[in-house]
Structure 1
Amino acid sequence: MENYKYTLDKTSKKFICPNCNKKSFVLYIDTETDNYLVDNFGRCDRETNCGYHKAPPKARKYFLIPFLCLKNMSDKVVQLTDINGFKFIIPKSQILEQQENGCWVSEWFLKNSTIFYLGNQSKYLNNDELVLVNTVIKRDKPPDLVPSFHSLELLNEMYFEKPHIDNLTTFLKRHFSQHEVFEVIQKYFITGVGHFWKNSTGFWQIDEKNKIHACKIMLYDESTGKRIKKPYNHINWLHKAFKDSEFKLSQSLFGLHLINEDYEKTIAIVESEKTAIIMSILLPDFIWIATGSKQNLKFELLKPLKKREVVLFPDKGEYSVWFERATELNKVGFKITVSKLIEQTNFGDGFDLVDYYLKL
C-alpha cells in the first residue's frame, strides 16, 4: 500500500503548539489537496526551547465516492454507478464502509482507476489497526466562485442589434422554408458570431429559469451543414472571446428554456445542437434538447426534466452507453426511454437523426 505524502506548511501561518503553548506550531498539509491535517500533526518552530514534532503516521487514505447505485456482482466485487451515470467495478477489499449514497474507497485503488476523487471528502486510517487517525479540514481560502451567467442585454445585443451571417443558418435556408428557419432561429436564439471564425454560430445555453449559462461557438460548412473539424475542431466559448478569466462555466442543456412552453409535450434529447434545431422543424410534437456532448448526459444537467417524459435519441454507436445511464437515472425518479432507431440502421458510428431524415 502507498504511504500518503505530507509536507509542513510553507506559509507564515502558525498555530498554538500543544507542548509549549506558544503560537509557533506549523501544521502538516496534504500536498494533493492543500488542506491541513488535524490532531496536532506538525512541528514547533522553537527548535531550541521546545522542539516538539509530531509527524503523520503511515496511513491509508480513503475518499468518499457518491453513487447512484451500488450493486453486488459477486462475493468479491461490486458495481458502482457514479452520479454521472458511469459504471465501475470495485473490489470489496478496497471499500472501507458504505453509506446511503456513497462509499469510502481506498486511494490506492482510485489512483489506478478512472474514478475522479481528488476533490472528494477523505480520511486516513492506520495501516495496522485500521482506526481513524486524522481527518482533513479546509484551510482558510476564498469561497468557491458561484457559476457565471451571461446577461440578457448581451444576448439582445448580439441577436437583435448586431446580427451576423452564419453558415449554419445559410445551410438551413437551403433545406427549409423561410418561415420555418425564421421560427427555429427565434426559438433557439441561433446567433451569427464574429468571434474566432467568420460566419460561425453561437448556441446559447439558457436554462428553465431563463438564466444564460454560456454561449458555445462552432463553425459549420454552409454547403454540407457539417461541423468544421480540420485542421482542428472549431469549438470555443463566448466568454473566452471576451477574455473573461473570472467567468466560471457551468453548462446547461441546449434548449432547456423551451420546456416551460408546453408541459404536455415529451422531451426529446439528442447530442448535437444542430440536430435538435433541425428535428424541431421535422418533428415539432417533441421539445428538442441537446446535451452538446455525450458526457453531458448526467444527473446535474437533466435534473430539471425529472418529472417529464423523456426520450433519448443517441448517435449510432452510443446506444448502450445512453441506455445504461437512463437505467440508472430511472432508479432515482426519472422517466426516460431510449430509442433504437439509429442503432438499427446501417449508418456508421457517429451518425444521428439528421443523417437519417435528411439523408445527408
Structure 2
Amino acid sequence: MTTTQHRPILEPYKGPSTRHRCPGCGKPREFTRYIDTQTGQHIAAHVGRCNRENKCGYNYTPRQYFLDNPTEETRAWLQSDQHLKTYTPPLPPPPVDYIPPQYLERTRQQLARNNFYRFLVKLFGEAEAARLADLYKLGTSKKWEDFGGLPVAFWQIDQAGNLRQVKIMAYHPDTGRRIKGKTRIIGKQLKPGGNLMQCLFGEHLLSAAPSAPVAIVESEKTAVIMAGVYPDCLWLATGGKNGARWTAQEVYQALEGRNVVLYPDLDSTEDWAERAKILAAACESVEVSTYLRDNTPPEDHREGYDLADYFIKRLLSPDQEQTTAQADQEDQEGFALPPGWQWEELNLKHGTHRVLIDHDGLPASWNYNPRTKRETLAVMIAEQPLVNSLIQTFDLQL
C-alpha cells in the first residue's frame, strides 16, 4: 500500500444507512464512520465520530487508529504529509428556498367556502373549527369547486415560519373524505426553479410549545381533527407514508429532544415501527401506538382506517351520522340520489336494515318503472342487498 492510498474522510451523508450506532453512547444513527477515498471502504467499524458532540463526544480518528495498529505501511503514511492533506468534499447542496409569504395570506380569504373547514364545523362547531383553522393556517384554493365549496390548502411551515410546501386537497363537506383525483402539490408553481425542501405538516407548532409531547399521524386531515380531540398534544403529519421524506435527518431533526408518539394507519403499523428506530436518533423517546389497532373492529382493519376515522364516528350526532352515511354512500357509489329519494333505517325483527325509499314513499326495489338513468341506477343499488340476502339464505348460485 502506498502512502497516497490513505486519504480518509468522514463518510458523506447519503441517507440513514450511512449513519451507524455509536460505540461510545450506543445511540443508533448518530455515528459517522471514516472511509478511504481511494477504495470507498470504511477504515474500521469503530473509527469515526459521534454526531452528539456535547452529550457523547466520541471521536476516534484514522490517525489514532493507525498509531494503535502500526504496520510498515501505516508508519510510512504517518511519516509523510498525506494524513495532513485536506480532502476536498463535493460542493454543498444549494440553499433551501421558501415560498413567498404573500401566497399564504391570499389563501386565507374564503374560509367559509372551504369544504374541509365546513366539515370541521360539523364536528366541533364554529368556534373550535376557527381555532383549528388558525392553528394550522388552513388556506382555501380556487382549484376546483365541489358541493358548493372549495378545496383546502395545507401549508407546510417550518419552525422559523418559512413556507416549505403547500398541498391542495378536495374534500366532501359532509363526510370529510377526499375526492379522488383532486390532490395537487403546487410549491414549484409558486416558486419556479426554487430548491424547495418539505417539512412535517404542523412543524411550526413546535417552537410555541418546546416541552409539549408530539403525536405524528399520516394525513394532514387527521392531524387537524386530532388537535380538536386531544389539544394537549402537538399533532403533526407526514403527508403520506413517505411524505416529506420524514425519515431523512434533515426533516426529523426538528424533533430533537422531543417525546414522540407515532399513530400509524391500520395498514402501516409494522412499517412505522421500523421507522421509529430511525427517529430515535434525534428524539428523547419514540413510541408506536397500538391504540387504533386495539380499539377497532376487523372490518376497519381491512379498510386501513386512521385515527380520524375512528373518532369522527364518535363526534357526530345520530342525525349528523345518518346524513354523513348517506353522503358517504353517494360518494362511494358515484352518484347523487334522485330528487325526493332518501335512505331510511328500518328496525325489523332480525335487525336494522338500510332501505332506499323513492319519491312515492315506497322501497326503491319495488320501482319497476324508473324514469331517468339516475333512478335506474338507484334501483339497482337498492336491489343489491336483496340479492345478497337471497344468495345467503338459499345458497343461490347467480
Instruction: Go from structure 1 to structure 2 and tell me whether the alpha carbon gap of 1:95 and 1:207 turns closer, same or farther (over 3 Å shift).
Output: same
- Pair 1:305-2:255 in alignment: yes
Equivalent residue number for residue 152 of structure 1: 101
Query: Structure 1 residues 290, 163: closer, same or farther in 2, change over 3 A?
Result: same
Give the greater-gyration-radius structure (CA): 2
The residue type paired with residue 204 of structure 1 is W
Q: Is the 8 A contact 1:195 1:241 kept in 2?
A: no
- Larger relative contact order, structure 1 or 2 (CA cutoff 8 Å, min sep 6): 1
TM-score, normalising length: structure 2: 0.53
Question: Which residue number corresponds to residue 168 of structure 1?
Answer: 116
Alignment of 1:352 with 2:340, yes or no, is no
SS of corresponding position for 1:316: coil
Assess if the C-alpha contact under 8 Å between 2:156 and 2:166 holds in 1. Answer: yes
User: What is the aligned counterpart of 1:274 among 199, 203, 221?
Assistant: 221
- What is the root-mean-square deviation in Å for CA atoms of aligned residues? 3.3
Q: CA deviation at 1:164?
A: 6.9
The answer to whether residue 138 in structure 2 is matched with residue 184 in structure 1 is no
* Contact 2:220 2:238 survives alignment (8 Å): yes
1:191-206 paired onto structure 2 within 5 Å = 191-195=139-143, 199-206=150-157
Aligned residue runs from structure 1 range 92-107, under 5 A: 100=48
Q: What's the CA shift for 1:95?
A: 7.2
Q: 2:167 touches 2:183 (CA, 8 Å); kept in 1?
A: yes
State whether residues 293 and 301 of structure 2, in contact with CA within 8 Å, keep that contact through their aligned partners in structure 1.
no
What secondary structure, in the 3-state scheme, does the structure 2 residue paired with 1:148 have? coil
TM-score by length of 1: 0.58
Structure 2 CA distance for aligned equivalents of residues 305 and 152 of structure 1: 24
Distance, in Å, in 1 between the alignment partners of 2:199 and 2:145 is 24
Q: Distance in 2 between matches of 1:288 and 1:95?
A: 42
Q: Deviations over 1:271-301 (max 9, x none)?
A: 1100000000011111111111111431322
Shift of residue 348, structure 1, vs aligned partner: 2.2
Call closer, same or farther: CA 1:95–1:341 in 2, change over 3 Å. farther
Pair 1:213 & 2:160 matched: no
Higher strand proportion:
1
Assess if the C-alpha contact under 8 Å between 2:259 and 2:283 holds in 1.
no
Question: What is aligned with 1:247?
Answer: 194
Unaligned stretches of 5+ residues in structure 1: 1-62, 72-80, 84-93, 102-135
Identify if the C-alpha distance between structure 1 residues 95 and 320 changes in structure 2 by more than 3 Å, giving closer, same or farther: farther
In structure 2, which of residues 279, 282, 285 is the aligned counterpart of residue 329 of structure 1?
A: 279
* Conserved? CA contact 1:201–1:217, under 8 Å: yes
May I ask how many residue pairs the two structures share in their alignment? 241
Identity %: 29
Return closer, same or farther for 1:155/1:219 CA change in 2, 3 Å cut-off. same
Q: Displacement of 1:64 after TM fit? A: 8.4
Q: Go from structure 1 to structure 2 and tell me whether the alpha carbon gap of 1:164 and 1:358 turns closer, same or farther (over 3 Å shift).
A: closer
Task: Kindly indicate whether the alpha-carbon contact (under 8 Å) linking 1:316 and 1:342 is maintained by their aligned counterparts in 2.
Answer: yes
Return 5+ residue gaps in structure 2 as ranges: 1-11, 23-27, 31-39, 50-86, 314-324, 326-398
Partner of 1:324, secondary structure, is helix
1:40-67 Cα shifts (integer Å, max 9, x gaps): xxxxxxxxxxxxxxxxxxxxxxx98643
